[in-house]
Amino acid sequence: MDEGEKRIRQEDCSEDNLGPGILTLTNKRLAFDKTKARIMDFSKHMGDTVLDIPLNDVTKTWKEGMLMKKVCFTAKTKEGETTYKFGVFYSKNWLKSIDEAIQNNKDQ
């Protein structure tokens, strides 16, 4: 993490297209690190960071789902606007935290 960057939330989850990993929200960005797990010895290993999106680039946030709750956001990327959907626990709390972090980042 950069100097002055603070972790707000972090959770082991899965994204619809990217697969399993760890979603991290800081006061400056949203990041997603891929993970690999082994059933035989119950180990989990961190992989590459596949998403590193500054909060300024997030254009829309929402939650969806009845049984499988997801927190979703659309962000500006090199390929244009891309939508990501993460299956997390307490999607309402994640949405609130992301929206607050975006607002606080704008105020600075």
Three-class DSSP category at 6 = coil
Residue spans of the domains in the chain: they are 7-103
User: What pLDDT is recorded for position 46?
Assistant: 72
Residues 21-66 pLDDT 10s: 999 999 999 999 998 776 666 666 677 888 999 999 999 999 998 8
What is the 8-class DSSP label of residue 81?
E
pLDDT the model gives residue 40: 64
Whole-angstrom CA distances from 67 to 34, 86, 93 are: 24, 13, 16
CA distances from 81 to 3, 36, 49, 53, 84 (A): 28, 28, 19, 12, 10
pLDDT at 64: 93
Which tens digits make up the pLDDT trace of 70-93?
Answer: 999 999 988 899 999 999 998 999
pLDDT at 11 over 90: yes
Q: CATH class for domain 7-103?
A: mainly beta
